[in-house]
């Protein structure tokens, strides 16, 4: 009798040990495959974009979902091709001029920093980076990085199209990984996360359009060369919260030093003004139809994603933070702690 009771008591303990070991193995596999998981998240993001546009097309034209998705993909490709045809030559010329002017702008900046002795560390860093073996190594790394980025981009787009074409298939397959008693909860949490992601993407798109147009116009009025290219860079980097605008301002201010310190000052003020208008005027209007995330949480989320996943993590850190923010509120705060907290999709 005592031996039987001992066996029954040891079974729950062994089960807990197995669950702990399984959790450790799953976490180890997730960390090992974090690069691939990040690409999967990128594909889901692309699928959300295509599905959102396809939903609008389907409501306007009243066509089947598959046809609406096909029209959406073709329309996006045609739009990109048309924009490339209309502005491609000018943009290519401005980009070439920008890369040709950057060395002069760099030397101009170093000469102005020379009275304070700040030019020597920068020159030393540049000499080390541009040494014979360094140039060859950097060029090889750059070429490999570009090829890898293009391959990943094509993979993400193709995966996004497949997911957008059959979202129910992948959704049901993912839900089957959870116990049957928890599938309804996970389905609701996933729907909340996707809804918040759609709202956040709408807000980012509005900000990107405004920042790109305002920056290009402002730089053109100031007289900074390659205003269109710099405005496009600003629009694309606006997708990255907080860090993107700072990164976008660096080449513009550096290039403005070629025109003189006054032009550089006006350029810096332009970027500051555009961000102030975007943050204090446009964003409050956009957030009425978008999702609100605490700014500090979004900033540290982007930084954490960059530290864990590199450049791609910085790019996708914003939407990842939105998804995790909603899942934590829904699954942890509401379900586990039994504390009511509004979700972004319920605040609208």
Do residues 93 and 99 lie in contact, with contact meaning Cβ atoms separated by under 8 Å?
no
pLDDT above 70 for 333: yes
Do residues 234 and 218 lie in contact, with contact meaning Cβ atoms separated by under 8 Å?
no
Q: What is the pLDDT of residue 19?
A: 72
pLDDT above 50 for 289: yes
Confidence label for 127 from pLDDT (cuts 50, 70 and 90): low
Q: What is the pLDDT of residue 18?
A: 76
Do residues 199 and 290 lie in contact, with contact meaning Cβ atoms separated by under 8 Å?
yes
pLDDT more than 70, % of the chain: 74
* 9-23, 84-98, 252-266 — most confident range: 252-266
Within 8 A by CB and 6+ apart from 298, the residues are 241, 242, 318, 321
Q: What is the pLDDT of residue 223?
A: 86
Q: What is the pLDDT of residue 271?
A: 93
Assigned token pair, 85: 């045809």
pLDDT above 70 for 8: no
Mean pLDDT of the chain: 80
Assigned token pair, 340: 């009511």
Confidence label for 78 from pLDDT (cuts 50, 70 and 90): confident
Q: What is the DSSP string of 305-341?
A: HHHHHTHHHHHHHHHHHHHHHHHIIIIIIIIIT----
pLDDT more than 90, % of the chain: 20
Q: What is the pLDDT of residues 128-162, one digit of tens each?
A: 555 544 444 544 554 566 667 778 888 999 999 99
Q: Name the residue with higher pLDDT: 42 or 289.
A: 42
Q: What is the pLDDT of residue 79?
A: 80
d(CA 69, CA 77): 12
Please return the burial class of 202, using the count of CB atoms within 10 Å of its CB with bins 0-12, 13-18 and 19+. Answer: middle
Rg (the chain; Cα; Å) = 25
If we measure between CA atoms, which residue out of 218, 251, 255, 253 comes closest to residue 233? 251
Q: What is the pLDDT of residue 161?
A: 92
**With the C-alpha atoms ordered 60, 66, 69, 71, is the resulting torsion angle positive or negative?**
negative
Q: What is the pLDDT of residues 202-258, one digit of tens each?
A: 888 889 999 999 999 999 999 887 788 888 889 988 888 888 888 888 888 877 777
Least reliable range by pLDDT among 98-107, 136-145, 204-213, 303-312: 136-145
Confidence label for 81 from pLDDT (cuts 50, 70 and 90): confident
Confidence label for 44 from pLDDT (cuts 50, 70 and 90): very high
Confidence label for 113 from pLDDT (cuts 50, 70 and 90): low
In angstroms, what CA-CA distances link 320 with 113, 200, 324? 39, 11, 6
Q: What is the pLDDT of residues 47-76, one digit of tens each?
A: 999 998 898 888 888 888 888 889 998 988
């Amino acid at each position: 009798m005592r031996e039987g009771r001992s066996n029954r008591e040891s079974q729950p303990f062994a089960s807990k040990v197995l669950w702990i070991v399984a959790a450790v193995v799953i976490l180890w596999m997730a960390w090992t495959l974090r690069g691939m998981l990040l690409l999967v998240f990128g594909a889901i993001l692309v699928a959300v974009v295509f599905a959102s546009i396809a939903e609008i097309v389907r409501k306007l034209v009243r066509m089947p979902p598959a046809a609406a998705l096909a029209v959406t993909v073709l329309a996006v490709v045609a739009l990109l091709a048309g924009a490339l045809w209309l502005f491609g030559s000018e943009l290519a010329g401005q980009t070439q001029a920008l890369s040709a002017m950057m060395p002069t702008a760099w030397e101009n900046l170093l000469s102005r920093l020379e009275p304070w002795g700040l030019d020597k560390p920068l020159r030393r860093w540049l000499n080390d980076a541009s040494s014979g073996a360094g140039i060859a190594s950097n060029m090889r790394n750059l070429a490999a990085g570009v090829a890898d980025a293009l391959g990943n981009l094509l993979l993400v787009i193709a995966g996004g199209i497949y997911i957008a074409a059959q979202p129910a298939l992948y959704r049901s397959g993912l839900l089957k990984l959870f116990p049957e008693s928890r599938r309804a909860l996970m389905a609701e949490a996933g729907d909340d996360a996707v809804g918040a992601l759609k709202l956040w993407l709408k807000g980012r798109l509005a900000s990107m359009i405004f920042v790109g147009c305002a920056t290009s116009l402002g730089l053109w009025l100031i007289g900074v060369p390659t205003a269109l290219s710099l405005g496009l860079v600003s629009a694309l980097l606006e997708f990255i919260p907080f860090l993107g605008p700072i990164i976008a301002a660096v080449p513009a201010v550096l290039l403005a030093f070629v025109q003189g310190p006054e032009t550089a000052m006006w350029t810096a003020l332009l970027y500051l003004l555009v961000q102030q208008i975007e943050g204090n005027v446009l964003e409050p209007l956009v957030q009425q139809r978008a999702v609100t995330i605490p700014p500090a949480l979004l900033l540290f989320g982007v930084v954490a994603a960059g530290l864990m996943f590199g450049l791609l993590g910085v790019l996708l850190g914003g939407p990842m933070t939105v998804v995790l923010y909603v899942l934590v509120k829904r699954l942890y705060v509401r379900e586990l702690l039994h504390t009511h907290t509004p979700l972004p999709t319920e605040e609208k």
